[in-house]
């Protein structure tokens, strides 16, 4: 008996699952079935205890999973478990941990499988935080390749989660625990009504106890990719039961709300994986893998159906044209006398396009985009969509488009963002000069405004000229932002988008002499310092804002003062 088991003498350890595991614990050095020498305890999971062992016959390291005794004692449950393990053995992929055998040593049953000498995704995220884009794409590609191999063999994982994803010494992601999650029944529910698997990673249909297929695993890949890129699950917060309930009734918030810097196609890719209805996701892991490799999504099932309905609608419309023509005089008279209240225009400011080969233009473009958004928000006659909403709309309606292709899709982007007008623009170099072109388009051609072209000898000169040119699109006064500080402001915003608050604070400190003159600079600096947890600097910036924005009337000034006010009720009053 081991020290751990010996320490429980006098206690009815068999009264609990933990006790059952303790009672069947293996001793280091013990040889199972005359073949497997136990060398190290690796961890405890839902099915039992996992060890590293030496296969004395093949002279290799393997992983041994000692099954829970109560599972082995139930003939029907054990038979289902055994059959699914035999099925899982058919899966052959470098991204799937291969199961060798199921064997018995006395009253103890165990599984032998490949030993992966590395850490789990769960441990990596705890240790190093979110993955960069390339690492996250490699993770998703490995998971989808492994799932594709499994699904072709009729195996659905059902319990995919970061703890079940291991990285080997070559940093290759590998899926483990195949076949285990559905060992107690096709619905994924035990006889006592407990859902098998981690609630935070269940698909909606799995949580409802419905029949599932490979698309359930794809939903979980979406959850894992979301967490790997943002450091958070989309339904984080609350109890496990609450997170499951939220997942049953609504789609997750867009990844763009946490990582607006990500490519639009990647945001749309994860959103497709996380569709509430399985039929709206990718058809299978192969389709998802192709979309990932091509960085382009296939048409969604809803869009294919919409095209068919559109054709039918056109046919029906043609049938009514003659009737409308005959009744037009009466309709025109009615319209002439009707009083129609004009709705409040809703406007989106799109990211300013720049030459991909000239990254130095990106900070200035980001500054102009944010400044234009605040400028329009100060106009009480329009409502302005948030940047997060705009990015989410771009990800849904035009995930991998730019240039003319994006321009043709802008009406769809506007509908996805819930706006009727949009401001778009491009920034380029012309020799040593900068050229900014801006356009305010609308769903109704009559509401569109002529484009403006703005030139400047350098970044500061261009921004100063923009303050004059953009006045054609806005009726209020522009928010204060010194032209020489525009590029530093854009660099700080880009750093905040990339979740690098310390870098953002450093960029703004470079123009500290003018921060007090601009509420926009103060807002960005306060956010950067707060996110970087620079408490002393945060309080100094708050005090500066309270002194300089006490009588603020513009939106940026009121927001800055609200953020600098400690009492929540005072913040609400400021806004």
Q: What positions carry a catalytic annotation?
A: 159
Q: Considering Cα of 411, then 412, then 417, then 423, what sign does the dihedral take?
A: negative
* Among 472, 246, 226, 508, CA closest to 363: 508
Alpha carbons 95 and 146: distance in angstroms, whole number: 5
How many CB atoms neighbour CB 414 within 10 A?
A: 24
Which DSSP string corresponds to 275-332? Answer: -SSGGGS-SSHHHHHHHHHHT-PPPPHHHHHHHHHHHHHHHHHHHHHHHHHHHHHHHH
What's the longest Cα–Cα distance across the chain?
A: 97
Spatial distance between the Cα atoms of 247 and 198, rounded to a whole number of angstroms = 14
CB 570 within 8 A of CB 540: no
The answer to whether 27 and 36 are in contact (CB under 8 A) is no
C-alpha 512, offset from chain centre = 34
Sign of CA pseudo-dihedral 323, 328, 333, 335: positive
Q: Other C-beta atoms within 10 Å of 66: how many?
A: 23
Q: Which of 184, 167, 176, 238 is CA-nearest to residue 74? A: 184
């Amino acid at each position: 008996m081991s020290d751990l088991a010996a320490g429980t003498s006098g206690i009815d350890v068999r009264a609990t699952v933990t006790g059952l595991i303790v009672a069947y614990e293996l001793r280091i050095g013990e040889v199972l079935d005359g073949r497997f020498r136990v060398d190290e305890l690796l961890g405890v999971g839902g099915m039992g205890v996992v060890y590293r062992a030496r296969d004395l016959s093949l002279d290799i390291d393997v992983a041994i999973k000692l099954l829970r005794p109560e599972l082995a004692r139930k003939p029907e449950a054990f038979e289902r478990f055994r059959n699914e393990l035999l099925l899982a053995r058919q899966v052959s992929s470098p991204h799937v941990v291969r199961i060798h055998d199921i064997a018995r040593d006395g009253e103890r049953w165990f599984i032998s499988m490949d030993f992966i000498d590395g850490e789990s995704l769960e441990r990596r995220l705890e240790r190093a935080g979110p993955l960069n884009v390339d690492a996250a794409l490699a993770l998703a590609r490995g998971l989808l390749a492994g799932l594709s191999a499994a699904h072709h063999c009729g195996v659905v994982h059902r319990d995919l989660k970061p703890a079940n994803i291991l990285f080997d010494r070559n940093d290759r992601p590998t899926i483990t625990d195949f076949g285990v999650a559905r060992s107690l029944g096709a619905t994924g529910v035990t006889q006592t009504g407990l859902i098998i698997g981690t609630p935070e990673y269940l698909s909606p249909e799995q949580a409802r106890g419905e029949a599932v297929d490979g698309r359930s695993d794809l939903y979980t890949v979406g959850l894992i990719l979301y967490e790997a890129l943002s450091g958070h699950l989309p339904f984080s917060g609350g109890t496990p039961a609450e997170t499951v309930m939220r997942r049953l009734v609504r789609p997750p918030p867009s990844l763009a709300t946490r990582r607006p810097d990500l490519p639009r196609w990647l945001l749309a890719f994860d959103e497709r994986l996380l569709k509430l209805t399985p039929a709206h996701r990718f058809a299978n892991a192969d389709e998802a893998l192709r979309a990932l490799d091509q960085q382009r999504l296939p048409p969604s099932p809803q869009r294919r159906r919409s095209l068919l309905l559109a054709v039918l609608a056109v046919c029906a419309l043609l049938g009514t044209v003659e009737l409308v023509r005959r009744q037009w005089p009466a309709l025109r008279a009615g319209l002439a006398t009707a009083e129609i209240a004009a709705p409040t225009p809703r406007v989106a400011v799109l990211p300013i396009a720049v030459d991909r080969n000239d990254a130095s233009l990106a900070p200035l473009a980001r500054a102009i985009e944010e400044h234009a958004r605040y400028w329009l928000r100060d106009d009480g006659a329009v409502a302005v969509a948030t940047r997060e909403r705009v990015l989410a709309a771009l990800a849904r309606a035009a995930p991998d488009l730019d240039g003319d292709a994006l321009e043709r899709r802008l009406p769809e982007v506007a509908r996805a963002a819930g706006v009727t007008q949009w401001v778009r623009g491009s920034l380029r170099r012309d020799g040593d000069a900068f050229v900014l072109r801006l356009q305010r388009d609308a769903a109704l051609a009559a509401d569109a405004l002529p484009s403006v072209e703005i030139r400047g000898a350098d970044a500061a000169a261009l921004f100063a000229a923009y303050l004059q040119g953009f006045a054609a699109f806005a009726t209020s006064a522009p928010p204060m932002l010194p032209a020489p500080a525009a590029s530093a402001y854009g660099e700080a915003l880009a750093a905040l988008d990339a979740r690098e608050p310390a870098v953002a604070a450093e960029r703004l400190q470079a123009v500290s002499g003018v921060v007090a003159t601009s509420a926009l600079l103060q807002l960005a600096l306060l956010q950067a310092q707060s996110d970087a947890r620079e408490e002393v600097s945060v309080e100094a910036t708050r005090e500066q804002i309270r002194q300089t924005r006490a009588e603020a009337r513009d939106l940026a000034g009121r927001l800055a003062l609200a953020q600098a006010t400690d009492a929540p009720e005072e913040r609400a009053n400021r806004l």
